[in-house]
């Protein structure tokens, strides 16, 4: 289902419609032919660094045209991209690059220091035109083997140790095709990409662009005024956002004089509240709540705006090629019942790096909790392993707890999600000091700053005498979360 061969996606687009817009970033624009030429040169440069089919290359870069060119160049060479979250600490970056056995660390100018701090493998930097080397010969698009790993994206599990999800070119192909069937695909579509390209949600936009011939307006990050201006000026029809972006976008859009032409605003990362969705619809924004996973090359299910009224709180139905079901204790739960969300289909990753591959046509256990109604509409009730989703970033409590427990003064630690008006959720730590020790908040923060990306660090530390536990000794996270709810 995810093997076979196909023609280089960008090459095909560049040949058939050379003069069609492919990419815009800041004040520059590239047609498909221009993007293809830039990618050919970048691929030639990377080849001089021995990047080829099967190479693993870590990528540490912000959103820029150079990053887009680097990504397409790596795809053209058949290399597996290991996209690194730019917010990670050097220690975290080094761990992921090492775990992935990346031969090379490719980085942009803004991340030269971070790349140097990783320190344990060769680095190659690139500028606004992507990787470049004197004497590089352009590499034309060839054949894509759909069965080969295209990306290795790190995601943390319940163990606290990040795992590299191996996504093949075929996983990405099916994601793009299924997305087009689910969301529609218009000749005049144009995507705005402001979410980081190191997450699957951003990468998926680049893949859809070259497979469907859709131009991408790339932005360096989230700036509500800039985004609102682009909606209007670039005739954007499709955009992905996280719920935290919506309120500032409401304000920015209210100031625009001309109407936007958005047809879908995919809203994912964390659940959007009903009042927020209602306000968006009332303001004429076609919000489409979306459930996605790193392990499925992003999109699993999306609720289209027309379906919101009858399906409050849902993330919609699965893409046409994707199957969803709810299980409890290995048994299928009938419609309406709660349980584990499991997914099957050709976007499901081959497996985690260094672990046994998933069974062919096996079900992926997401670890998330939800229910399906009789119509196949999914409602996500809780994220896996008490996952905290803060401003679109996933924080795994177990990873933060492991960092806390590594400190000599800490006896016990539990990290839970607290509601936050701006980020949706923030991590809060409950910590029990070791007898005789009395570490301060500042000491803890200073140590964590070297070990965990800023967004993962607890925004508040609650010192307690003991953690609430079940009879079998398991921490009662729910009890801790309840302590953090704002009073009714």
How many C-beta neighbours within 10 Å does residue 450 have? 10
How far apart (Å, rounded) are the C-alpha atoms in residues 10 and 26? Answer: 22
What residues numbered 325-354 form the site for a copy of itself, per CB under 8 A? 344-346
Confirm or reject binding of residue 280 to a copy of itself (CB under 8 A). Answer: no
d(CA 306, CA 337): 25
Among the candidate windows 90-98, 198-206, 313-321, 466-474, which touches a copy of itself by CB under 8 A?
Answer: 313-321
Q: Using CB under 8 A, count the residues that bind a copy of itself.
A: 40
Pick from 119, 122, 127, 184 the residue near a copy of itself by CB under 8 A.
184
Q: Is there binding between residue 262 and a copy of itself (CB under 8 A)? A: no
Report if residue 357 touches a copy of itself, rule: CB under 8 A.
no
The correct pick among 221, 320, 419, 454 for binding a copy of itself (CB under 8 A) is 320
For residue 380, report the phi and psi dihedrals to the nearest 5 degrees. -90, 125
* Region binding a copy of itself by CB under 8 A among candidate stretches 108-116, 195-203, 244-252, 375-383: 375-383
Contact flag: residue 50 with a copy of itself (CB under 8 A): no
211 forms part of the interface with a copy of itself (CB under 8 A):
yes
Instruction: Round to whole Å and give the CA distance between 281 and 51.
Output: 47
Q: In whole angstroms, how far apart are CA 154 and each of 138, 294, 365, 378?
A: 31, 8, 17, 25
Assess contact for 341 and 330: CB atoms under 8 A.
Answer: no
CA distances from 295 to 244, 298, 364, 414, 443 (A): 23, 7, 8, 26, 36
CB of 32 to a copy of itself, least distance (A): 11
Phi-psi map region of 439: left, alpha, beta (phi>0 left; psi -120 to 50 alpha): beta
Residue closer to a copy of itself (CB basis): 26 or 181: 181
Tell the smallest beta-carbon distance from residue 257 to a copy of itself (Å). 28
Q: What are the E-state strand segments in 237-284? A: 238-241, 264-267
The nearer residue to a copy of itself, 67 or 209, going by C-beta atoms, is 209
Q: Among 51, 104, 167, 177, which residue sits at the site for a copy of itself (rule: CB under 8 A)?
A: 177
- Residue 131: half-sphere exposure toward Cβ, Cα within 13 Å: 33
What strand order describes the sheet that includes 317-318? 28-31, 21-25, 216-218, 191-193, 238-241, 264-267, 287-293, 298-302, 317-318
Question: Which string of x and - marks every residue 376-395 that binds a copy of itself (by CB under 8 A)?
Answer: xx------------------
Q: Does 374 participate in binding a copy of itself (rule CB under 8 A)?
A: yes
Q: Which is nearer to a copy of itself, 359 or 488 (CB)?
A: 359
The interface with a copy of itself within residues 5-24 (CB under 8 A) comprises 5-7, 9, 12, 15-16, 18
Q: Calculate the alpha carbon distances from 196 to 63, 86, 225 in Å.
A: 6, 9, 18
Decide if residue 3 touches a copy of itself (CB under 8 A). yes
Instruction: Give the interface segment with a copy of itself, choosing from 130-138, 150-158, 232-240, 317-325 (CB under 8 A).
Output: 317-325
Per DSSP, 289 falls in state: E
Name the residue among 194, 192, 138 with its Cα closest to residue 10.
Answer: 138
Based on its alpha-carbon atoms, the radius of gyration of the chain, rounded to whole angstroms, reads: 22
Kindly tell me which residue out of 50, 120, 274, 361 binds a copy of itself, with binding defined by CB under 8 A. 361
Place of tokens 């062919």: 360
Q: Which stretch binds a copy of itself (CB under 8 A): 79-87, 149-157, 183-191, 382-390?
A: 183-191
Which range of residues in 107-115, 157-165, 184-192, 480-488 is near a copy of itself by CB under 8 A?
Answer: 184-192
Whichever of 111 and 344 has its CB closer to a copy of itself, that residue is 344
User: Residue 151 half-sphere exposure, CB side, CA atoms within 13 Å?
Assistant: 33
Q: Residue 75 CB, nearest distance to a copy of itself (Å)?
A: 15
**Should residue 359 be labelled a site residue for a copy of itself when binding is judged by CB under 8 A?**
no
Binding site for a copy of itself (CB under 8 A): 1-7, 9, 12, 15-16, 18, 143, 146, 170, 173, 176-178, 180-181, 184-187, 211-212, 317, 320-321, 323, 344-346, 360-361, 374-377
């Amino acid at each position: 289902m995810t093997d076979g061969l196909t023609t280089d996606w960008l090459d095909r687009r560049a040949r058939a419609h050379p003069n069609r817009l492919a990419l815009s970033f800041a004040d520059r624009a590239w047609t498909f032919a221009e993007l293809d030429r830039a990618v050919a040169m970048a691929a030639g440069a990377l080849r001089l660094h021995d990047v080829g089919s099967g190479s693993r290359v870590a990528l540490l870069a912000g959103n820029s045209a150079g990053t887009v060119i680097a990504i397409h160049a790596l795809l053209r060479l058949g290399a597996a991209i290991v996209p690194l979250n730019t917010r990670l600490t050097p220690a975290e970056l080094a761990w992921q690059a090492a775990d992935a056995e990346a031969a090379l660390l490719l980085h942009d100018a803004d991340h030269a220091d971070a790349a140097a701090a990783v320190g344990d493998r060769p680095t190659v930097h690139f500028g606004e035109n992507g990787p470049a080397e004197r004497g590089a010969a352009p590499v034309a698009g060839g054949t894509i083997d759909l069965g080969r790993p295209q990306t290795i994206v790190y995601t943390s599990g319940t163990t606290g140790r990040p795992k590299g999800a191996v996504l093949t070119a075929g996983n990405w192909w099916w994601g793009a095709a299924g997305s087009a069937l689910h969301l529609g695909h218009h000749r005049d579509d144009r995507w705005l990409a402001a979410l980081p390209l190191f997450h699957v949600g951003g990468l998926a936009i680049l893949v859809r662009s070259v497979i469907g011939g859709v131009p991408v307006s790339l932005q360096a990050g989230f700036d509500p005024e800039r985004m609102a201006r682009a909606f209007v000026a670039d005739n954007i029809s499709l955009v992905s956002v996280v719920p935290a972006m919506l309120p500032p976008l409401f304000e920015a859009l209210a100031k625009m004089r001309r109407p936007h032409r958005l047809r879908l605003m995919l809203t994912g990362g964390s659940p959007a509240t009903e009042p927020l969705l209602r306000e968006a619809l009332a303001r004429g924004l076609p919000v489409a709540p979306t459930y996605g996973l790193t392990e499925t090359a992003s999109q699993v299910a999306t609720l289209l705006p027309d379906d919101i009224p009858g399906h409050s709180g849902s993330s919609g139905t699965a893409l046409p090629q994707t199957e969803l079901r709810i299980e409890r204790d290995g048994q299928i739960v009938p419609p309406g019942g709660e349980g584990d969300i499991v997914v099957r289909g050709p976007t499901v990753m081959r497996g985690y790096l260094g672990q046994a591959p998933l069974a062919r046509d096996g079900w992926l256990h997401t670890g998330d909790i939800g229910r399906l109604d009789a119509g196949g509409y999914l409602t996500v009730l809780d994220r896996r392993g008490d996952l905290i989703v803060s401003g679109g970033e996933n924080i795994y409590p177990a990873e933060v707890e492991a960092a806390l427990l590594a400190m000599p003064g800490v006896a016990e630690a539990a990290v839970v999600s607290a509601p936050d008006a701006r980020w949706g959720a923030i991590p809060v730590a409950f910590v029990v000091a070791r007898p005789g020790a009395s570490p301060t908040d500042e000491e803890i923060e200073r140590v964590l700053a070297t070990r965990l990306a800023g967004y993962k660090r607890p925004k508040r530390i609650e010192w307690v005498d003991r953690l609430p536990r079940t009879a079998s000794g398991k921490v009662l996270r729910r009890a801790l979360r309840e302590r953090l709810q704002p009073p009714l």
